[in-house]
């Protein structure tokens, strides 16, 4: 085994969803630096094209897709396999958060909107990617995105969102059991507070300050600080890790 960050990823096909978002952009850019070929997927073509323009290397793809439309998933996976010759990694970051000050304000639409993208689309995209990896017969890596809310139940009006992330954590474990015999690892990354549009939307300055105080490292992470663990999980160095939830929270929670 070559000892380097991103070992084993050179020439591999990678899909990153939510790639125009705060953490997704950092993750997708980090994958491009390993020599992998990256398909960046997000809602808006202009935003995703801009992200890919900042990548290292060539041969990457910028694709606009609404992942809540499950019928789009097969086409994305096929496009990646055809363009890259293989699909080795799915890093699924696309998610939405609607904060509500009181649970009485949570509407059925709020519940469905967050579950449809964060959990339902995540499951079906992971399964579509997993099927392709099984067919290829060369193993693979699926990395899901949870949140500390899977453990805490959520702060700052995010009970429904936290429920989706609890689902993502459980789903990740189930998929790890399902795909293990095919040498496909499935792990969740669970960020703490990361400085992105999602964190800041509807967040009061008081809650933001108290988050910093409760974090032993004393600050809110920048997106690049989450990209390293994702690339590690996709690398050869992490080949015996599956079903884990990797806590990247600056010590906010310890487990
Ligand atoms: N920022 C944090 O503090 C934090 C903490 C814990 C977990 N997370 C998780 O990390 C991941 C990335 O979060 P972020 O902070 O970068 O958020 P973000 O809002 O910056 O990015 C999320 C991206 O997902 C995309 N997206 C939403 N719905 C989509 C759909 N239907 N189809 C395709 N793309 C869609 C959005 O357009 C956006 O670009 C998410 O899974 C989030 O739940 C973030």
Query: Is 6 a member of any domain?
Result: no
Q: Is the pLDDT of residue 64 over 80?
A: yes
| Phi-psi category of residue 66: left, alpha or beta, with phi > 0 → left and psi -120 to 50 → alpha | beta
In a domain, 5, yes or no: no
Q: Which of 196, 211, 219 to mutate to test the pocket of ligand 1 (most atoms within 8 A of CB)?
A: 196
Query: Which atom of ligand 1 is nearest the CA belonging to 68?
Result: 31
Whether 43 is in the pocket of ligand 1, judged by its Cβ within 6 Å, is: yes
Structural domain containing residue 101: 13-248
CATH number at residue 189: 3.40.50.720
**161 part of the active site:** yes
Q: What is the pLDDT of residues 38-59, one digit of tens each?
A: 999 999 999 999 999 999 999 9
Q: Distance (Å, rounded) from C-alpha 130 to C-alpha 177? A: 12
Q: Tens digits of per-residue pLDDT, 206-243?
A: 988 998 999 999 999 999 999 999 999 999 999 999 99
The answer to whether residue 2 sits within a structural domain is no
Which atom of ligand 1 is nearest to 25's Cα? 16
Residue 98 has pLDDT above 90, yes or no: yes
Mean pLDDT across the stretch 160-176? 98
pLDDT of residue 5: 83
Taking the C-alpha atoms of residue 16 and residue 51, their distance in angstroms, rounded to an integer, is 12
Tell me, yes or no, whether 3 lies in a domain: no
Q: Decide if 195 is inside a domain.
A: yes
Q: Is residue 8 part of a domain?
A: no
Whole-model pTM: value is 0.97
- How many domains are contained in the chain? 1
- pLDDT reading at 1 higher than 80: no
Does the beta carbon of 198 sit less than 6 angstroms from any atom of ligand 1? yes
């Amino acid at each position: 085994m070559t000892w380097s960050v991103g070992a084993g990823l050179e020439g591999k096909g990678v899909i990153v969803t939510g790639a125009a978002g705060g953490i997704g952009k950092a993750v997708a850019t980090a994958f491009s630096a390993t020599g992998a070929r990256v398909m960046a997927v997000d809602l808006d073509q202009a935003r995703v094209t801009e992200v890919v323009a900042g990548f290292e290397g060539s041969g990457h793809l910028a694709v606009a897709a609404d992942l809540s439309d499950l019928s789009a998933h097969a086409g994305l996976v096929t496009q990646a396999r055809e363009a890259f010759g293989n699909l080795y990694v799915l890093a699924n970051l696309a998610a939405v958060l609607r904060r509500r000050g009181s649970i009485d304000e949570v509407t059925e639409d709020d519940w469905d909107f967050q579950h449809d993208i964060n959990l339902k689309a995540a499951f079906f995209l992971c399964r579509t990617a997993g099927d392709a990896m099984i067919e290829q017969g060369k193993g693979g890596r699926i990395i899901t995105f949870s949140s500390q809310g899977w453990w805490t139940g959520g702060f700052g009006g995010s009970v429904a969102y936290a429920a989706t992330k609890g689902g993502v954590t459980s789903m990740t474990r189930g998929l790890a059991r399902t795909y293990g015999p095919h040498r496909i690892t499935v792990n969740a990354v669970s960020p703490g507070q990361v400085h992105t549009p999602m964190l800041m939307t509807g967040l009061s300055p008081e809650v933001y300050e108290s988050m910093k105080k409760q974090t032993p490292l004393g600050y809110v992470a920048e997106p690049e600080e989450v990209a390293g663990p994702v690339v590690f999980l996709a690398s050869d160095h992490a080949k015996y890790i599956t079903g884990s939830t990797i806590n990247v929270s600056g010590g906010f929670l310890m487990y």
